Structure 1
Amino acid sequence: MAHKTLDEYIDGWAPGAITDVDPLRPEAAALLRDILDAGDDSSSDGTLPPLWHWAYFTTWPAQRALGEDGHPTEGHFLPPLPNRRRMWAGGHVTLHGRLRLNTETTRTGTLTDVQVKHGRSGDMILASVRYDYVQAGTTLISELQNHVYRIGDDDAARPAWGPRPVDYPDSDLPWQFRLTTDQIRLFRLSAVTGNSHRIHYDRPYAEDVEHYPGLVVHGPLLALQMAGLARRHDPALELAEIDYRVLSPVFVGEPVLVTGRPSADTSGAELQVLSQPDTVHAKGTATYRRTMTNH
């Protein structure tokens, strides 16, 4: 019997909107602050810094509901693929205001697009989900998350990843932050965000099953570091939007440089995560608005 095409697997798949509620207890923000080494640049004013909402609305399925990769075998926005492999590809976050901690928050998710893409590495599904975060009747965050899904092939040839970086790259960009991850940071971030995907903490699985050269650094961690770099530029500026893409994986222990610079008109910032010799692992753009208390 011939295998189905990706188009056939998703034919008729159209999950409806779904709404969840979270009280935004401060404990998760405190844990994320420590994981990011954010220090005082955090939630001390009772609000969540940009992108820190990813530590909330987490799910914890029963063990029997998890697949071999650690992800749930079924999920509202998970396309119905056999041996499904998932990657966080990027997204766009519009920040209308700050989410307040200890406040009941409603998140509504809506599938906005699903399509089959044909790339050099094979066919994949790109699924986009919009999330709106509401407190006291006001939408404070509107977010689009993009995920890539493939059908895993245990017999597929191991990709040629090439030499891995051992030193930080050089850059003349004005904003720089050096980042090297270890297994402990990845494990703790997986725990706080409810992410049980084994590529982040199970090295034999990551190498032997999904054919990576090591543990994979979370895509959201790269986006959080880019957003943090943009936030530290000027305390009179508040992030209003951030758009980001994960282009190439970073693996545990690899030295990368998070870089940025103001945009040409100074209304935003251009951001990248780089490694030697000239690999761009992630890139993003940020847009600012001046806070009312600063003139």
Structure 2
Amino acid sequence: MDIAQLEKWIGKSESHVERIAPFPSNALAATLDRDDPHYTDGTPLPPLWHWMHFLQLFNLSEVGYDGHAALGGFLPPVPLPRRMWAGSRLNFLAPLSIGSELKKVSTIKSVKTKDGRSGKLVFVTVGHQMFDGDMLGIDEEHDIVYREEPRPDALVQTPPPAPAQWDFSRDIDPSPVLLFRYSALTFNGHRIHYDQPFCVGSEGYQGLVVHGPLLATLLLDLLRREAPEAIVRSFEFRAVSTVFDNETFSVHGAAEQDGKTFQLWARRKDGTLAMNAKAIIE
């Protein structure tokens, strides 16, 4: 792998303009079993729901073996077979509304390689900014990790235990229908989320993989249910371990003493940590 060649992508930028239609928000609200009023033009776009917009479109003939777009294009052509959403850091600076015409500017910020216990890793960080006219509404950093196929002799790492105390929580059934709906709403063709024979037989997972951004969305949705009038100002999360469709999991939250900072996490059925996150509200 020529890391110097991959680093040439740093600074590469692209931008897109899109009118934010109300249908994706109404569809996601139904998918999350929310009892929200109907989303229409002028309704504020809930935090993280911008992930259903500015989606990468590519022809079916350009799809790689795993359902992602083939290597190259805006993202650097990292020659490692497994690509996952590792985490994000977001600042919500101004409200963005459904019905508005928004602009998204994406920039490759860094490309780093690392030798992990499971083999070589490459981390690509992409910055995303969403504007309504000249007003910056969302400033986001998105970490993507590329991994080698796991070695047969690699040690299976046990995830750390999830926190044992929380202020509020919710159990989640990660059914294939939930995963399919989220894949459809985000135009995510990655086969690990819906193709069970591929996921288990070719990739070696124990079931369909729950999307990282879906876990993050469920964490922030939990906070919105607990504090429906709050305004989320920042949110960050990091994926820790994989959640599969054949076991229920739970999402949890705990308030810090300032009443504005919340620790959030996803807990697998065996009590281990799947994702941790932090949100600041006002």
Could you tell me the TM-score, scaled by structure 2's length? 0.90
The 5 A counterparts of 1:246-265 are 246-265=239-258
- In the alignment, structure 1 residue 245 sits paired with structure 2 residue 263: no
Q: 2:9 pairs with 13, 16, 24, which one?
A: 13
For 2:170 and 2:38, locate their aligned partners in 1 and report how far apart those are by CA, in whole Å. 17
- In the alignment, structure 1 residue 34 sits paired with structure 2 residue 30: yes
Q: Secondary structure at the match of 1:141?
A: strand
The 5 A counterparts of 1:209-224 are 209-224=202-217
For 1:136 and 1:94, locate their aligned partners in 2 and report how far apart those are by CA, in whole Å. 18
For 2:252 and 2:7, locate their aligned partners in 1 and report how far apart those are by CA, in whole Å. 41
The 5 A counterparts of 1:112-261 are 112-152=109-149, 156-157=151-152, 172-261=165-254
Cα deviation, residue 112, structure 1: 1.1
Alpha-carbon spacing, 1:179–1:41, altered in 2? closer, same or farther (3 Å): farther
Q: Provide the aligned length of Structure 1 versus Structure 2.
A: 278
Could you tell me the TM-score, scaled by structure 1's length? 0.87
- Percent identical pairs in the alignment equals 31
Deviations 1:250-288 (A, max 9, x none): 001311110001113222100010123331000100011
Cα deviation, residue 11, structure 1: 4.8
For 1:185 and 1:144, locate their aligned partners in 2 and report how far apart those are by CA, in whole Å. 26
**Structure 2, gaps ≥5 residues long:** none
Q: Tell me which residue corresponds to 2:59.
A: 62
**Structure 1, gaps ≥5 residues long:** 164-168, 290-295
Task: Name the Cα RMSD after superposition.
Answer: 2.4
Poorly superposed stretches of 4+, deviation over 6 Å: 158-163
For 2:195 and 2:24, locate their aligned partners in 1 and report how far apart those are by CA, in whole Å. 23
- In the alignment, structure 1 residue 23 sits paired with structure 2 residue 19: yes
Q: Which amino acid aligns with 2:131?
A: V
Contact 1:50 1:239 in 2 (8 A): yes
Q: Which amino acid aligns with 1:115?
A: K
Q: Which amino acid aligns with 2:115?
A: H
Cα deviation, residue 77, structure 1: 3.8
